[in-house]
Amino acid sequence: MTLCALAHKNVPLLRLADRFHRAQAALSLGATAAPLADTPAIGTGLPKGSHTAGTVKVAVCGAHLSGLPLNWQLTQRGARLLGAVQSAPEYKFYALAGGPVQRPGMVRVAEGGAAIDMEVWEVPAEHFGSFVDGIPAPLGIGKVKLADGSWVSGFVCEAVGVEGGPTSLRWAAGGLG
């Protein structure tokens, strides 16, 4: 099986391939009785030494993920995807009011949080300001704790801006799914 993707759209393709491979795990490999090997989990952390001078690492979620409606705000600025990660299990995900593109808000909480699927991008420093300037309230850039315990700049949401309570839904191509 061969999978193809547009340039800079590798992460959604890798996730699809990972899901397909895991679905086949009950089958044997070819004509042998050997079971398929486990696929390493996507998002186990960023490669060491992946930060380039003159750039800012930014963790994104929701509509800024690869292949989703606001990802162009990164790629248009020459940002480079470093990898898929998860936040520490200390966040609640909220569906924010407004649009037309649905946006999530990630709020760090003391109790009852969950890990959120994210991507870390490397944004050229000369374009970081214009990226941040385009972020509407109640969202902003702050420090986000990742599952491996490291901290990176990323999307955060003011608690005052969340409406309707948290959602456990995952982000999909059309918004919250």
Q: Which of 53, 56, 50, 71 is nearest to 6 (CA)?
A: 71
Domains of the chain in start order, with CATH, are 1-41 (no CATH), 43-176 (3.10.490.10)
pLDDT score, position 158: 87
Mean pLDDT of the 120-149 span:
95
Q: Where are the alpha helices (DSSP H) in the chain?
A: 10-23, 72-75, 125-133
Name the β-bridge partners of 121.
Answer: 58, 81
Q: Dump pLDDT digits (tens) for 86-116.
A: 999 999 988 888 778 888 889 999 999 999 9
Give the model's pLDDT for residue 7.
65
pLDDT of residue 9: 62
Q: How confident is the model at residue 24 (pLDDT cuts 50, 70, 90)?
A: low
Q: Is the dihedral of CA 21, 24, 26, 27 positive or negative?
A: negative
pLDDT in tens, 38-85: 555 544 455 555 567 889 999 999 899 999 999 999 999 999 999 999
pTM of the full predicted structure?
A: 0.67
State yes or no: cis peptide before 138, omega within 30 of 0.
Answer: yes
pLDDT over 50 at 176, yes or no? no
Could you tell me the two tokens for 44? 């186990």
Residue 152: pLDDT above 90?
Answer: yes
Tell me the residue type at 137: A
- Alpha-carbon gap, residue 45 to 148, rounded angstroms: 7
One-letter amino acid at 82 equals: L
**């795990």: which residue's tokens?**
25
